A and B are shown apart, each in its own frame.
Chain A
Amino acid sequence: EAGVAQSPRYKIIEKRQSVAFWCNPISGHATLYWYQQILGQGPKLLIQFQNNSVVDDSQLPKDRFSAERLKGVDSTLKIQPAKLEDSAVYLCASRKTGGIFGREGQETQYFGPGTRLLVL
């Protein structure tokens, strides 16, 4: 079974430029997540999709970040315009269902390799 795919793996841009990341989840996984991981910290959720609907985007800086999952499969995350503090690894993860943790078995999130973004 193929894992979560992400591209590009690395991106260097100047501040105020725009950038987009792509994610293709594991086949059949309904739930898709985007995380931001700043150096030295654990991942922080940016947005969660259930199929093509947004479930949680409370920590997404909506003035500059946007994300979509139009057909309920792959997803794109965009930053426009980028700031220096956006330098981080952007991780995509997927999960088979959106079921309740702890009750419905091992509903694990599987992560992609991440995109390392450097804003100069």
Chain B
Amino acid sequence: AQKITQTQPGMFVQEKEAVTLDCTYDTSDQSYGLFWYKQPSSGEMIFLIYQGSYDEQNATEGRYSLNFQKARKSANLVISASQLGDSAMYFCAAAPGYSTLTFGKGTMLLVSP
């Protein structure tokens, strides 16, 4: 079974600073997808960024980038120039092959003024 590890239960960052949220995954599949989702207090899971295992370049989406280190099975999310609205739970997820998403336990990010 796949396992996603997010070691940071909570992170604090000041507005306009960058923050890195850690994620490691465990799969023996060669083909897989890695995802980050944001879940604000309203409860909806908002897709942020995707990285395919065969993608050679790190994915970027606006202020979000995914630091993909395949050999280390690491998929850290980097948020640049944090905003107050970034305060939320962040989930890392992986989907090997045809399998469904397996989520980590999440990291709570709090952005202070």
A binds B: yes
Q: Which residues does A use to contact B, with CB under 8 Å? A: 33, 40-45, 48, 56, 89, 91, 93, 98-103, 105-114, 116
B100 interface contact, C-beta 8 A: yes
What sequence of 0s and 1s flags, for each residue 24-58 of chain B, a beta carbon within 8 Å of any chain A beta carbon? 00000001110101000011111100101110000
Chain B residues with CB under 8 A of A56: 100
Which chain B residue shows the least CB distance to A41? B105
B42/A101 in contact, CB under 8 A? no
Task: Categorize the interface residue count of chain B.
Answer: 20 to 34
Instruction: Let me know if A101 and B105 touch, CB within 8 A.
Output: no
B101 CB contact (under 8 Å) in A45, A106, A116? A45
From A91, which residue of chain B is reached at the shortest CB distance? B45
Query: Chain B: residues with CB nearer than 8 A to chain A?
Result: 4, 31-33, 35, 37, 42-47, 50, 52-54, 91, 93, 95-106
Least CB distance, A10 to chain B, in whole angstroms:
10
> In the complex, which residues of chain A have a beta carbon less than 8 angstroms from the beta carbon of B102?
45
Please tell me if the beta carbons of A103 and B103 are within 8 angstroms of each other in the complex: no
**Known contacts A33-B100, A42-B106, A103 near B54 by CB under 8 Å:** yes
Give A44 to B35 CA distance when docked, in angstroms.
Answer: 15
Q: Is the interface of A mostly helix, strand, loop or mixed?
A: loop
A112 touches B44 (CB 8 A): yes
B33: contacting residue among A43, A102, A113, CB under 8 A:
A102
Q: How far is the CB of A37 from the nearest CB of chain B, in Å? A: 8
Report yes or no: B45 in contact with A93, Cβ–Cβ below 8 A: yes
Do residues B47 and A101 form an inter-chain contact, with CB atoms below 8 A?
no
Q: Is the CB of A114 within 8 A of B96?
A: no
Cα–Cα, bound, A7→B47 (Å) = 21
Q: Which of A48, A108, A113 contacts B100 (CB 8 A)?
A: A48
Residues of B contacting A43 with CB < 8 Å?
A: 45, 91, 101, 103
CB-CB under 8 A for A101 and B32, given A42-B91, A45-B100, A109-B101 = yes
Contact of A113 (CB < 8 Å), options: B31, B35, B43, B91: B43
A45, B35: Cα distance in complex, Å: 15
| Closest B residue by C-beta to A99 | B98
Q: When chains A and B are docked, how far (Å) is the Cα of A114 from the Cα of B69?
A: 33
